[in-house]
């Protein structure tokens, strides 16, 4: 099963990466000589994604200029007058994304993979009859730069539940997922997080996860950016 459309979230300020982001948007930070957003777009192109929507807000003109010569995947932009967060940004872009499932990735997610590519595995695992969102998850022991306690538990069928009051959970969300536009129906106007969408899918038993085969680099601050550059290079 091929997913041919994607949304790349590139609008945020990247506060934790200051002072770099005082003058340059975080998606244009480089790891192994390539910008973070190009790492993501190269993955999408390799997975057969033909069309990608990139949202823009903070220093968006710099991202648009950087991508102006890129041909694969074909890029359209979704500028935001105010920062709409992850869920609101997707809602604004829905007319460009179309009626079928689509990838949603943060522009700063970076990973190494073994075996079948992660996006291909994610697309193959999608089941339209049971899922509204399918999240790519990293076991905590294979994450660099991630200091959190984990985000989700997963049952034997792949259904997710939140960490809640537990001290830790075994999986971290990698900022890579497939979503279906139906789960955004009757969403609030303006800015809101995709956590709202996940809660809807959780309540319906339609939020699933897939465990990543490889390593994930959480690029949050200057130290983790330098570590990712060292390891990927």
Domain limits for position 228: 5-232
Indicate left, alpha or beta for 174 from its phi (over 0: left) and psi (-120 to 50: alpha). Answer: alpha
| pLDDT tens, position by position, 116-168 | 999 999 999 999 999 999 999 999 988 988 888 999 999 999 999 999 999 99
State residue 170's pLDDT score. Answer: 95
State residue 2's pLDDT score. Answer: 85
User: What does the angle CA 126 – CA 131 – CA 134 come to, to the nearest 5 degrees?
Assistant: 60
Please enumerate in sequence order all residues whose Cβ is within 8 A of that of 43, keeping only pairs 6 or more positions apart, or say none. 105, 117, 118, 119
**Position of tokens 């033909």?**
50
Q: How far is CA 26 from the centre of its chain?
A: 14
State residue 1's pLDDT score. Answer: 64
- What burial letters (b/e) apply to 61-88, b meaning 16+ CB within 10 Å? eebeeebeeeeebebebbebeeebbbbb
CB 79 within 8 A of CB 56: yes
Question: How does DSSP classify residue 93?
Answer: H
CA distance 136 to 119: 9
pLDDT per position in the chain (233 positions), as tens? Answer: 689 999 999 999 999 999 999 999 999 999 999 999 999 999 999 999 999 999 999 999 999 999 999 999 999 999 999 999 999 999 999 999 999 999 999 999 999 999 999 999 999 999 999 999 999 999 998 898 888 899 999 999 999 999 999 999 999 999 999 999 999 999 988 999 999 999 999 999 999 999 999 999 999 889 999 999 998 88
What's the CATH code of the domain at 91? 3.90.550.10
Please enumerate in sequence order all residues whose Cβ is within 8 A of that of 159, keeping only pairs 6 or more positions apart, or say none. 205, 207, 208, 209
Which SS3 state, helix, strand or coil, does residue 156 take? coil
CA distance 60 to 52: 16
Write down the pTM of the prediction: 0.94
Please give the tally of structural domains in the chain. Answer: 1
State residue 88's pLDDT score. Answer: 96
Q: Which residues pair with 34 in a beta bridge?
A: 31
- Give me the numbers of helices (H) and strands (E) for the chain, helices first please: 6, 14
State residue 39's pLDDT score. Answer: 97
């Amino acid at each position: 099963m091929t997913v041919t459309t994607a949304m790349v979230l590139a609008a945020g300020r990247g506060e934790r990466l200051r002072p770099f982001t005082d003058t340059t948007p975080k998606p244009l930070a480089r790891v192994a000589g390539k910008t973070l957003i190009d790492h993501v777009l190269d993955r999408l192109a390799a997975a057969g994604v033909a069309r990608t929507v990139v949202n823009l807000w903070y220093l968006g003109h710099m991202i648009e200029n950087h991508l102006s010569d890129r041909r694969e995947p074909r890029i359209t932009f979704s500028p935001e007058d105010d920062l709409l967060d992850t869920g609101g940004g997707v809602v604004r872009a829905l007319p460009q994304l179309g009626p079928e499932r689509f990838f949603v990735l943060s522009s700063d997610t970076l990973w190494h993979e073994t075996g079948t590519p992660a996006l291909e595995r994610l697309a193959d695992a999608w089941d339209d009859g049971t899922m509204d969102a399918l999240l790519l998850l990293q076991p905590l022991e294979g994450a660099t730069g991630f200091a959190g306690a984990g985000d989700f538990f997963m049952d034997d069928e792949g259904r997710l539940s939140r960490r809640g009051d537990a001290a830790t959970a075994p999986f971290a969300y990698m900022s890579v997922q497939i979503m279906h536009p139906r789960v955004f129906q009757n969403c609030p106007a303006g800015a809101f997080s995709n956590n709202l969408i996940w809660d809807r899918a959780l309540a319906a038993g339609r939020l699933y996860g897939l465990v990543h085969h490889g390593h994930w680099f959480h690029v949050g601050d200057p130290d983790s950016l330098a570590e990712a550059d060292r390891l990927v290079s």
